[in-house]
Structure 1
Amino acid sequence: MPIRLGLGLPQMRQYDIGRDIPAVAAAAEETGYDSLWVFERVIFPEPATQGLYGIPGLPWPDQYRNVAEPTVSLSLAAAVTGRARLGTSVLIAPLHIPFQLARTLATLDAASGGRVVAGLGTGWALDEYAAAGVAPFERRGAVLDETLDVFRAVWGPDPVAYEGELTTIAPSVVGPKPARPIPVLLPANSTKAARRVVDRADGWLPVAMGARKLAGEWRRLQDLAAERGRERPLQVSVRANARYRAKPLDGDDRKPFHGSVDQIVEDLAAHVAPGLDDFHIDLQTTTRDAEELMDVAAAVYEGARAAGI
């Protein structure tokens, strides 16, 4: 059975978001893509308090200078599509007030006919936490846990009532409700995060950093799920950060999903494994405009299907 394949929407500054997000979303669904995805970057500090991913001296990439807000971007896509799932990979949950984020996602899911997939993370940028003003960076895990609790309450039956560190909801009617239970996916990049995935989430949201590494992480997460008595299967959607080039890249040190369409398809085939059959590819960084993004996305999709993926 073919894998499910998704596409990252054009949120960066080389795109006209009002025109290009709907155009790419509609074209991707028509091509056959199963899902459409967005990510979140809030500000581009100059100078930054810390390096990229918190690594000292590592510069932030220039494409982070202007990234469209993710839920607005998905709303633009929802309006012109009818089938594709609408995913976040990722929303940085502690940058948002939990109650408002729960209502935003519920409204989008109701409006789209039950297509939202909520991929959440805690982020790494101190400057973004300072700008958001919701909670300090040191409280990020606790805020994510409260957000998951608030989601469960707000998306559940009325009357909704909740009391936490950031959120107090008096018994209330809160609507609209999601069209169906919204799947929540989380990364598992630490022992504590892996336990949170197994104990509290619907599934896992990894990044494709090499087929062997991905398969090993998947085995460890499955073992942890068995150890902790999880009965529901874990949903998985793998994010592939692609860097497209018209000509193939040479050399044994080529990074996964960097290169030509054929090389991207080759890497996709290498990463597929039992349980790892849902991927979303972000091609927007190295395409010049929406027209090129749509052309490359169609070529990747057709190449994958021709290869039996």
Structure 2
Amino acid sequence: MSRRQILRATVVGPLMVACLVTACQPEPKRGGVQVVEPGTAPATTAASAAPSQPPAPLTGVPAGTPAVTTRPALAVPLRVTPSTTPTGLDAADVVYAEFAESDSLHLTAVFHSREAAKVGPVTEIRPVDIRSVAVLRPFVGYAGGPTGFLAQFKDSKLGGVTPDDDDKAFSGDHTSTAALWRAAPKAAPPPTPVLDYATTPGDALAGRDLAPARQLTVSVPGGPPMVWRYDAAKRVWTTRVGKATVAATSVVVLTTEYRTIDVRKPSFRSLPSAKVFGQGAAVAVSGPSGAKGTWRKPGQDLVCNVVDADGGLMHPQPGNAWVVYVSSTAKVTLG
């Protein structure tokens, strides 16, 4: 079922796990980008994939083989500091980014349409991972975590594997998509689409207040800014994450509440945590355009809607996406 069929189903049927809005809500108007509270893919991906294949659900780009559209998604949390060189992000379909402690980023990389021979550094599971990707029902490769976070993961009913469970799926603090797919249940379903992609290259990102954009800057108090720049030749947005340069077809910034979580087991520490559920301001870029709007995610098993200023769903170009959670104290600017 396509993303638009899912949208239509929410108007005439009861609420389903994969639906975007409750049955009592009107269908959002077409007009701009739709995201899940959120990848990185070069523009050559669409050209290299076989155009005769159906679109991969998380990118809208023709799948390389029929088997791609039926396999489950994978999710891997990564911890990235300014001195880290992360691997595998260029193959992820969707990446969620949370600003973590000590100028680090906690990333949730979701893989489905492409392979990654090396992914890492793999880190502990955190609430943002579970709440962002539960709607996709991925198989998760992670490095344990605090007792309370592990309890939340168990309650989510998501499947996963750690080095303690299967050391063959990991090499140090790295893994691979091949190893995780071998460990995943064979009957697991594919993910539901999370973006309502533009159907033609001329489709606009938003139906109102669309503006030319060449730079997206996220300035966070007490830390270095995250600056995305548009590469017109490759038609992607690029930024530095740790010591690596990453690219995305679309970037969506969601303003939300951050709170401090005190972890006591196995050792005491305080961690910042983005509130994934709720609603707030949003800024999206895709192609050479940007737009401001709002986002809404009512619960863990629902996709996050991003709509433009006129209430229409935003429509990014097919490809990979990054979704960045920022606090209300952050400054998000388009240039």
Structure 1 length normalisation: TM-score? Answer: 0.28
The structure that has the greater radius of gyration is 1
Bigger relative contact order, structure 1 or 2 (CA pairs below 8 A, ≥6 apart): 2
The structure where strand makes up a greater share of residues is: 2
